[in-house]
Amino acid sequence: MKTELFDYALPESQIAFHPPAQRDGGRLMVLYPTAQRWEHARIQDLPAYLPAQSLLVFNATRVIPARLHAQRDTGGRVEVLFVRCAASDADSSAWVALCRANRPLRPGARISLGPGIWGEVDERRARGEVRLRVNARRDAVLQLLQRSGEIPLPPYIRRPPDSDDAERYQTVFAAHDGSVAAPTAGLHFTPELLAEISGAGHDTAHVTLHVGPGTFRPITADDLGAHEMDEEFFVIGEAAAQRIAAARQAQHPVLAVGTTTVRTLEGAVAAWGALRSGTGSTRIFIAPPHRFQVVDALLTNFHLPRSTLLCLVSAMAGREFVLAAYREAVDAGYRFYSYGDAMLILP
């Protein structure tokens, strides 16, 4: 399938550069693919639209302040984005990182990261990544990032992070450090909204997928089949696996909150042959005509043109219908992307 089929026009004025005043204060576009219609609502209306006895599955990853301003041993400045820890022992760790500097960092280049902590480039990898060997264990590096790092806002938010981002670019249920991007559909939820959903007879479960920078990477190949996804790591706990299995057994809808949750559940089935508890990784690329094995419904934000996330949404609701809904959302003044409004796709 041609990548150009997943393009659309968006005025820059509709990109949300800041979160809404209230977490649950955004708009909600409700899609009914079978009936080929949609409705306009608010995030606070979500409980009224959920199918009876839905199971909502959330991604409980936590965004770390993974961007660090550092200095190479020759004096030049380096911006380091710590993507993930690849290995750690008693006194050192290895990280996959993205580095921006005036001159390319070659193997052997040394970077001062903080007092007494330095990193050395072991190797250059694909898509601008490097393997960085650090003279401190994983926990010490994470402590350094908590002290000195910045929240890595998406590249289309062209402003430095401020004090609000530390709270608002994080879900209220975030529990496990490891992401460089937020599972943005979850940003809309407040404790009060979650309590209302539970009180209406719905159940919840939490999985974890640590979101990497590939979530923002556009598809540059002419054909979808030529695009290679970044590897992302996930955890499905025993309680979540049991809740999902029980919902499917009872034919209750499984509603994924966010595309990262979809990739966790569908990726686990693709890797293991069935959904179970465990730890794994996925490079799954979900695009039409993907047949969903676990997920029945989806709450998601509006995504970039020519992105893997737009392909995923199109696989669930149909490409032409989704693009028609996006045109309607543009005309209706919806806010787009990570801090923007949401779309609910129902069975």
Residue 139 in 3-state DSSP? helix
Alpha-carbon span 285 to 163, nearest angstrom: 34
Is there a domain that residue 153 lies in?
no
Sign of torsion, CA 284 288 291 295? positive
Residue 139 lies in a domain: yes
The domain boundary, picked from 97, 119, 148, lies at 148
Do 298 and 214 share a domain, yes or no?
yes
97 & 9 share domain:
no
Instruction: Say yes or no: 59 and 18 in one domain.
Output: yes
Contact (Cβ atoms closer than 8 angstroms) between residue 56 and residue 240? no
Whether 187 and 226 map to the same domain: the answer is yes
Q: Is residue 154 part of a domain?
A: no
Task: Select from 148, 177, 192 the last residue of a domain.
Answer: 148
| DSSP state letters, 81-104 | EEEEEEEE-SS-EEEEEEEEESSP
The answer to whether residue 227 sits within a structural domain is yes
Domain interval for residue 111: 67-148
Q: For 126, which DSSP code?
A: G
pLDDT at position 146, please?
95
Instruction: Give the β-pairing of 110-114 and 129-134.
Output: unpaired
Of 116, 148, 180, which closes a domain? 148
How much is the pLDDT for 138?
Answer: 94
Q: Is 291 found in the same domain as 190?
A: yes
**Cβ atoms of residues 29 and 38 within 8 Å:** yes
pLDDT above 70 covers a percentage of the chain that reads 100
My answer on whether 73 and 55 are in the same domain is no
pLDDT value of position 104: 83
Residue located via tokens 């179970």: 276
Q: Is residue 143 located within the same domain as residue 186?
A: no
CA distance 1 to 206: 33
- Which CATH number does the domain housing residue 91 bear? 2.40.10.240
Residue 337 domain flag? yes
85 and 228, same domain (yes or no): no
What pLDDT score does 119 carry? 96
Residues 228 and 174 in one domain: yes
C-alpha distance across the termini of the chain, in Å: 24
Which residue from 276, 317, 322 is spatially nearest to 298, judged by alpha carbons? 317
Whether 257 maps to a domain, the answer reads: yes
Cα–Cα separations (whole angstroms), residue 249 to 229, 242, 254: 32, 10, 11
Could you tell me the sign of the dihedral formed by the alpha carbons of 217, 167, 146, 61, in that order?
negative
pLDDT beneath 50: ranges in the chain: none
CATH number of the CATH domain containing 301: 3.40.1780.10
Local structure of residue 71 (DSSP, 8 states): E
Instruction: Look at residue 160 and tell me if it is in a domain.
Output: no
What's the rounded Cα separation, in Å, for the pair 344 and 298?
Answer: 6
- Cβ atoms of 248 and 242 within 8 Å: the answer is no
Q: Which residues contact 312 (CB under 8 A, 6 or more apart)?
A: 259, 262, 263, 286, 287, 290
Nearest-angstrom CA–CA distance, 257 and 300: 7
Looking at the structure, do residues 271 and 340 belong to the same domain, yes or no?
Answer: yes
* Helix intervals (H) in 1-100: 46-49
Torsion angle, CA of 107/153/14/342, rounded to 10 degrees? 120
Same domain, 310 and 196: yes
Q: DSSP letter at 34?
A: T
Indicate the helix (H) or strand (E) that contains 245.
helix 238-249
Per-residue pLDDT tens for 121-145? 998 877 778 999 999 999 999 999 9
Same domain, residue pair 192 and 328: yes
The confidence score (pLDDT) of residue 85 equals 93
Q: Which of 301, 295, 334 shows the shortest CA–CA distance to 315? A: 295
Helix (H) or strand (E) holding 110: strand 110-114
Looking only at the bridges linking them, the beta strands covering 67-72 and 77-88 are: antiparallel
Task: Evaluate whether residue 159 is within a structural domain.
Answer: no
Look at the chain and report how many structural domains it folds into.
2
